[in-house]
A and B are shown apart, each in its own frame.
Chain A
Amino acid sequence: MATSITNSRPICTYPIPMSIQSKLSKAGFLTTGSVANLRPSELSSSAEISLEDAADVLDLVRKPNGLFLETKTALEILREEQRNYPIVTMSQNIDKILNGGVPLAKITEISGIAGVGKTQLCLQLCVTVQMPEECGGLKGHAVYIDTEGSFNASRLQDMSQACIEHCRNAMNLAAENWNLASITENIFVFRCKEVTELLSCVMILKEFLKTHDQVKLIVIDSLAFHFRHDMENAALRSRVLHKIAAELARLAVESKLAVVVTNQMTTKFDSKGQGRLTPALGTSWGHAPTFRLILDWDPSRSFRWATLIKSSSLPPGSAPYQKIARVVKLYRFSNQGYLFPY
């Protein structure tokens, strides 16, 4: 049943190709009401479009409004958020500034200079996301999109071994509950050698997730790499980047999984010519992630700082610097009396 509002809705607000739209408007069909009661054959002959196109247009226009998108109340979402435990990083202080770990249904960005431990943190998340529920994990699988060729399987083995040992020793996990083979089995690595591959990989993840619904984490390491090397055309670059960002946001929300992307650092100059290190990929990219974390060395190079530069639930700068142990040894650090949040 169409109401008066929907009858006056202009046809140009529907996703109809321009060529068909201009034919429709030339024939005088401008609002939904003007075509609503026509048969496809009538529309086809009077607007001079093919019968298939006419049928498509009518299907689209007659689709009952409101079914297209569903809304949820804030209360429902809050309850969902409470059920989604974050992925612990096993670094006490990073978990602390992220309020328990890397959140599901959100995009988190980790940036930092080369060698500061971004990839290590990502690999570690691929392991910790698989921890059994009784140890505070999610028993989820991980997708690792590797653009730099930095995925290190033997490092992953070390980490997995350490993580399993930690769970058994510190949390009395029964030996048969979790083993090394299952960890490596449940990490799916996509190797993307250039931008087109990265874009197509992200676009087909939706299909991949249909058959792998246990995936709780998507890592892109690093997002910046191809964009900083391959792309000369700035407009195309931003279009592709934001297409990826939009798709990631959608996957995160629809499949309730955490998206972690790493980013490189670049030097930004202010009016006085003073250089300052900021995350790369430009200012408009900065809006996409919900959390932005920067890892940096202390001048003494004996430990690292983690800085949260963007967050929706914390005032920026309230907990800016957290000293973190060497990222490569995070699991050791967690042995020193770190209590899991759950």
Chain B
Amino acid sequence: MNLISESISPLLTLDKLELLKAHKVLTTLDFVQYNNDKIANLIGQNVSEIIKIKDQILAANNSKPLRADKLYEMILKRTTIIKSGIDMVDKMLDGGIPSGRLVEVFGESGSGKTQFALQLTANTALKQQHPVCYLTTSDAKAERIMDIMHGLQKDADYLKSLERIHFCYVNDVYQLMEMLWTPGMREYKLVIIDSLATLFLPIRGDSFNDAISLLNKVASDLKRLAVVHQCVVLTVNHVSKGPAEGTASTPTPFLGRYWSSVPNLRLHSKHLSKDEFQLTVVKNIYSPDPGPKCSFRYFFRSRVDMKNECKSICPHT
């Protein structure tokens, strides 16, 4: 939707635009919606001319139809599959997460949400060699990424892979949106927001920053990012209320009912015991059978290994 201007039609001269402006016809949408006879009267033109201008506006704003088979070819060409590097998880996700999707992982504190995000980050940067953007609301866990990379592959070029990962600290919702609109975002194949809930918790129920409408904007920005730049967007979310202990049902994710319809794929993360975790597909709009589950282990290295490795990267001065 644009402001109406002379460029739309030679009949719309400056003085006529002023007249329209005085009657609150400002944008092309206002123009198309306005009564034909009234506009004709207002600017002294035939009704048929007005209809012609309206048709021109509609034609200019129309998106061209695409054939489904061409679209399919295009998707095949542009899609990247982001993998976690854990066989069980990738199998559960039918090979990985195709680009263009908005994925959410949620769970209680310490349930492995961030571990999953870090696992995807490490694998994408190391094995698939794609750049990754990690937007964090708390701290950057670079050491843990290094750790996971060791579990994925021995003796790889870790330094180069670490340079593919860009961390950014975001402190409020507007900083997040600023970041999402940065032209540099198109470089990344995986964008992680850890965590979205933390950004909204301090403003929940706040009338100045209407949290719902902000969430709305963030949701559409995230979808745009995923589809336009063909990347996977992963958001990390909390749970609002856990199920009663002992029951099999999964808890409800935080951020409310509106948000629950936004992600294409939703995973529930749970800590079982020691290094064993479980991921459950709670929602998947592309798969007929929801609810596959898998339990697996994240790779944890011994402390001594970690210390030695870090020394070799960054010799103490």
Contact = CB atoms under 8 A, between A and B. Distances in A.
A28 B26 contact: yes
Interface string A268-288: 001110000000000110111
Contacts of B3: 28-29, 34
B90 interface: no
A69 B176 CA distance: 9
Interface in A219-266: 235-236, 238-239, 242-243, 245-246, 249-250, 252-254
Contacts, number: 206
Nearest to A5: B183
Given A74-B165, A83-B314, A246 B181 contact: no
Interface residues of B, number: 84
A161 B138 CA distance: 36
Interface of A is mostly: mixed
Contacts of B1: 28, 30
16 contacts: A5-B183, A14-B174, A65-B181, A68-B175, A71-B166, A72-B166, A72-B167, A73-B162, A82-B310, A105-B139, A236-B205, A239-B201, A270-B246, A272-B246, A312-B115, A318-B275
Interface stretch (B32-40, B59-67, B74-82, B237-245): B237-245
Contacts of B303: 99
A235 B204 contact: yes
B242 A66 contact: no
A216 interface: no
Contacts of A18: 208, 210
Given A13-B217, A75-B142, A82-B313, 16 more contacts: A5-B186, A9-B181, A18-B210, A30-B27, A72-B140, A72-B166, A73-B165, A74-B145, A74-B167, A78-B310, A106-B139, A239-B205, A242-B201, A253-B140, A271-B247, A317-B273
B171 interface: yes
B233 interface: no
B293 interface: no
Contact of B313 (A9, A78, A238, A243): A78
A288 B198 contact: yes
Nearest to B251: A283
B182 A66 contact: yes
Interface string B199-226: 0011111101010000001000100000
Contacts of A72: 140, 166-168
Given A69-B178, A239-B205, A318-B275, A246 B143 contact: no
Contact of A246 (B114, B171, B210): B171
A313 interface: yes
A12 to B, nearest CB: 6
Contact of B300 (A235, A236, A314): A314
3 cross-chain pairs, A with B, having the tightest CB-CB distances, nearest first: A286-B109, A28-B26, A270-B245
Interface in B149-170: 159, 162-170
A118 interface: no
B195 interface: yes
B314 A74 contact: no
Given A5-B181, A74-B140, A28 B30 contact: yes
Of B165, B174, B178, which is in contact with the most chain A CB atoms at under 10 Å from its CB? Answer: B178
Contacts of B316: 82
Interface in B121-148: 125, 133-134, 137-147
Contacts of A252: 139
Interface in B265-308: 271, 273-275, 298, 300, 303, 306
B184 interface: yes
A301 interface: no
B261 interface: no
Contacts of B171: 246, 249-250
B204 A309 contact: no
Interface string A97-121: 0010000011100000000000000
Nearest to B300: A315
A132 to B, nearest CB: 17
A185 to B, nearest CB: 29
A268 to B, nearest CB: 9
Nearest to A78: B142
Contacts of A204: none
